[in-house]
Structure 1
């Protein structure tokens, strides 16, 4: 089983994350930010990655540190669970429709972190969460997981649908990319021999 546990503690947050890449999409998530919890539950359910997240942050200031550090910790856990990345498919992509919205996600577990984020919102908050923090979560996750990650909403109007389709698209793309390729389960998927 490809599993990992990460504990991240700073003066701003305390976060414990456990992932199982070969799971069934079960989750137990508590960040103190209801909308973020909902998105992380979607990430787990649709990627089939079991996810446990317990975050305590300085929410009396704002949600920035908790959002950022949760993305970092989950990304670190995914990277640790992947180990040397031997046998993984490596690439994943998804078109994620949600009612009037369509989002495209493509990723490469390259070890070269990069985010292209082309999603915009017409309101400053969803629930109690600032919409500007969504791109920041994806940036933090991609950076610590070592992903080249492209997320683009092709069209959409409802802000909830836009971000939920992005998280579900990430989940489906990640599910493909972390799978073991039965034809090359013993090899690193790179001509360099390392990722």
Structure 2
């Protein structure tokens, strides 16, 4: 069966001594979501990723945030990446590539990706304030890396210019959502795997 023959939706759980993560992801949705990671700013970012990517998304995570947010943020990235990888299926008929720019006030962000099966992350957000609310801004890169590796995508995220750390990270999540939305869309002109090699 091809991606056009099935509902690209997946439910997945992962439990370790540090976190318990549950995700329900639908690639062909409307952006409805329910997010609870116990980290307010991170909840907000995942809500934006869902809304702008038109990805239906439920995320529930209980983690050792009394230590810090690292395990929660990274493990959500891992499970979200795993869910994306399973939901995308055989990749037949998808656009595969996408690049999207998002302006947010003084900030301009770019996300460029390839659903390639070759995980890689380039992350360049410039200087960031140490914290946004209870969110350690170093964890943004950790989330994106975990997601890219487990989703099997090549992902380039860059802030072209900007000053406000909230704006920078928010613009990156929005740009990623839009890029994912376009990359996973089916194009009826694409016959089979979108690669000259015939495999991804």
Instruction: Give the TM-score range, shorter chain.
Output: over 0.9
Tell me the TM-score normalised to structure 2 length: 0.95
1:136 aligns to 2:167 (yes or no): no
Which 4+ residue blocks in structure 1 deviate beyond 2 angstroms?
Answer: none
Q: Is the 8 A contact 1:121 1:131 kept in 2?
A: no
**RMSD of the TM alignment (CA)?**
0.8
What's 1:187 paired with? 192
Unpaired runs of 5+ residues, structure 2, are 1-6
What's 2:49 paired with? 43
Tell me the secondary structure at the aligned position of residue 191 of structure 1: coil
Q: How many residues align?
A: 194
What's 2:22 paired with? 16
Counterpart CA distance in 2 for 1:29 and 1:72 is 16
1:71 aligns to 2:77 (yes or no): yes
Counterpart CA distance in 1 for 2:136 and 2:199 is 38
Q: Cα deviation per residue 1:13-50 (whole Å; 9 max; x = unaligned)?
A: 00000111000000000001100000000000000010
Residue 183 of structure 1 deviates from its aligned partner by 1.0
Tell me the secondary structure at the aligned position of residue 96 of structure 1: strand
1:94 aligns to 2:82 (yes or no): no
